[in-house]
Copies of this chain bind each other. A is one copy, B any other.
């Protein structure tokens, strides 16, 4: 089970990180996500981290790199679902996740991307 599903819903890709991203998996995830963003021309990427009890500097850097890459590819990234305890630890560690957009949950993340409605009719695509 070495894959992170990239779920397309309307104009966005949704990813739920539930497993620890070791180096190799993180690189593969970044590459696959960038390719899918470019191939499918999505407007936004939502990364849910509500399953994670720990966000370390490595994951922080991965998330930052993903946001920077998708930005170059003309899509925006929002990280959603961070647990309060994770936020506290991040601040204690001095990790600010600078430049990363965050939101409380998937729907708030979509609204932050300016998306109020996801069309999944499959027409004109």
Contact = CB atoms under 8 A, between A and B. Distances in A.
Given A4-B51, A14-B14, A16-B16, A111 B120 contact: yes
B106 A116 contact: no
B14 A1 contact: no
Contact of A121 (B1, B53, B106, B116): B116
Interface string A113-125: 0011111111000
Contacts of A42: none
Nearest to A9: B106
A7 interface: yes
Interface residues of A, number: 33
Contacts of A111: 120-122
Interface string A13-29: 01010111000000000
A107 interface: yes
A117 B57 CA distance: 37
A5 B20 CA distance: 15
B120 A107 contact: yes
Given A16-B18, A19-B19, A111-B122, A5 B51 contact: yes
